[in-house]
Amino acid sequence: MPCIEFGYTIKSEILPALQSCSVATIGQRTHDHSPPLIELSRKLKSTAMARRNMLYAGNGFSDLVILLCSPGSREEFTPLEEIMEDESVPCTMRTLDKSLRFAFCGRRDLETTVVLHARPFRGKRVRDSESDEERKKNDRRAVEALLKALDILKPRVVVVCNLETETVSRGLPQELCSTARDAGKVELLRLRNGHECLKVSSLHPLYGVATTILPHGRGLRMMRDFLFDASLIVAANALIGRTVIGSGISSLEESSRDSLPPPRPGVEPTSSEVMEHLRRRGAFDRPVDKTGIRALMRDYARVTLRVDGFQDRSGGGDNGCSINSIIKTAHEAADKMDAFKGQGFVIGSNDPKLDFSGTHQ
């Protein structure tokens, strides 16, 4: 199985080492998975803006899904584009957009990537306004809608960057949660409909922001930001059937922990002592490859369109990417789903009579 090595010995080598592992790919745009999420928004009486922002972030190439926690309160009333433009406030989507561009050599960004939430339409303000019983009921509804959307989408790679654990009690499978220690780890993920894909664990995009208040917070944040970028690069390579090996990710994970003391003058986070510790842990060994992961990697190497010598996507025309096109197509798909209710239609089925394809590019 093809592989590429990521490693570094001093901090100044991290960025170029990561860049050397980035890869440009494109996929097929889809709206197919929108109906259960639109139906959820109707049941929860979500704001029109929240629905619009969900469709904007949730539209993209079908082969990759980024799974976050829950939408921010601002997304209920403010267009996502405006939130991203306000650089005075940390923004999950803006950070994610920049990291996607980095990992995919500019060929993928927020507009071309399916970004879903573990709890769709369940922001803090909404949940705080509900009774305990109502909150639990609506949380379960949200998780069910997410699982239906994933069943329809059938992605090749799911990057789980929600750092959720308590959500399991609300119905979210443990497999769709992540921890900081597992960042960059690749596992086999089986959806409810039997579809198999790859799960890449990651941090939340803003995981490093809060660390700036610590004495050594600036360096810690840098390492956590690099670790988030690295996990997306692992996903980018997984799409072409290639694994990322070497000490780089393990070293970043070691350097991203809260317990790490500030580096002494002249001592880098990956000093000889740390490198020796990583060797003892087997960080330099090739990963043990499970049969299922290896089989999927071979398939992805054949079917993913890799773009070498690409040009920046700045051509004219709508191409189905504008928010108006996204909303129009997604609502048409939802209306079709409503029309077939009561006729034995199962979400995620392959009934040829149901054309939810929308606009594919």
For 243-298, what is each residue's pLDDT tens digit?
Answer: 999 989 989 988 887 644 434 434 344 445 545 554 554 444 444 446 788 888 88
- Report the sign of the C-alpha dihedral through residues 146, 151, 154, 159, in that order: positive
pLDDT band at 207 (very low <50, low <70, confident <90, very high): confident
pLDDT for residue 227: 94
8-state DSSP, 281: T
Domains in the chain: boundaries: 3-311+322-331
Q: Which residue has the higher pLDDT, 321 or 254?
A: 254
For residue 100, give the H/E element and its range: helix 92-103
- d(CA 355, CA 29) in angstroms, rounded, equals 15
* pLDDT at residue 83, rounded to an integer: 93
Provide the token pair at 225: 């930001």
Q: Indicate the pTM of the whole model.
A: 0.77
Phi, psi for 247 (deg, rounded to 5) = -90, -5
What secondary structure letter does DSSP report for 288? P
Confidence of residue 324 (pLDDT cuts 50, 70, 90): low
* Contact status, residue 125 vs residue 103, Cβ threshold 8 Å: no
77 and 47 Cβ atoms separated by less than 8 Å: yes
Residue ranges with strand state E in the chain: 3-5, 25-26, 29-30, 60-68, 113-117, 157-160, 186-190, 196-201, 243-245, 305-306
Predicted pLDDT of residue 181: 85
